[in-house]
Chain A
Amino acid sequence: DIVMTQTPLSSPVTLGQPASISCRSSQSLVHSDGNTYLSWLQQRPGQPPRLLIYKISNRFSGVPDRFSGGGAGTDFTLKISRVEAEDVGVYYCMQATQFPRTFGQGTKVEIK
């Protein structure tokens, strides 16, 4: 199975300041079809996970443009340009290049 490793596991951020989360996979996430199926999920307190970013850098419908994703191969990053109160929660990276799907440990974003 592909192991997904996120850093940091906790990220206290001041409102209006940027935040960045890294995700590393144990092997390349480039699929045989040429796509890289790396997604970012947001889970607000008491809510189910929801898709934020898919295929490294594509924002899902309704996701604010302060969220951006980047990276390639085995190293990926989620950035929040200016953290707002509604961004508090846990963020997960997920790979869908291979079965089984695997997730990072989660990064808790909280306000300082």
Chain B
Amino acid sequence: EVQLVESGGGLVQPGGSLRLSCAASGFTFSSYVMHWVRQAPGKGLEYVSAITSNGGSTYYANSVKGRFIISRDNSKNTLYLQMGSLRPEDMAVYYCARLTGDLDYWGQGTLVTVSS
């Protein structure tokens, strides 16, 4: 059974940093591009970042470029999102997802609250 379990969310002050993790199981993690998608309270889905299967290429939405870093450790089947210079508008539930366009899976999400 495919499982994606996010962790690392919490309350952080504006300008602060946070690292999210996503533990994957039930599939060959190292074979898949992985993604982060976020959802602000009461809003729709916003694509944040992606990383290729070997970590060699990354993509960032303009809204997070230069502040967030996506990475992965295939030996630990884990995806990461290092978030810095956090702003109130970054407050959202962050989902880790496998989005092949074929058989896609989403984690339960982790809530990031940015507030003083």
Contacts and interface: CB of A to CB of B under 8 A. Distances in A.
B102 A54 contact: yes
Interface residues of B, number: 22
A51 B104 contact: yes
B68 to A, nearest CB: 14
19 contacts: A35-B101, A37-B101, A37-B102, A48-B108, A51-B105, A51-B106, A55-B102, A60-B103, A94-B99, A96-B100, A99-B50, A100-B47, A100-B50, A100-B59, A100-B61, A101-B37, A101-B99, A103-B45, A103-B46
A45 B61 CA distance: 26
Contacts of A51: 103-106
A41 to B, nearest CB: 8
Nearest to A38: B101
Interface of B: 35, 37, 44-47, 50, 59, 61, 93, 95, 99-109
B62 to A, nearest CB: 10
Nearest to A51: B104
B35 A101 contact: yes
A55 B101 contact: yes
A50 interface: yes
Contacts of B46: 103
Contacts of B103: 51, 54, 60
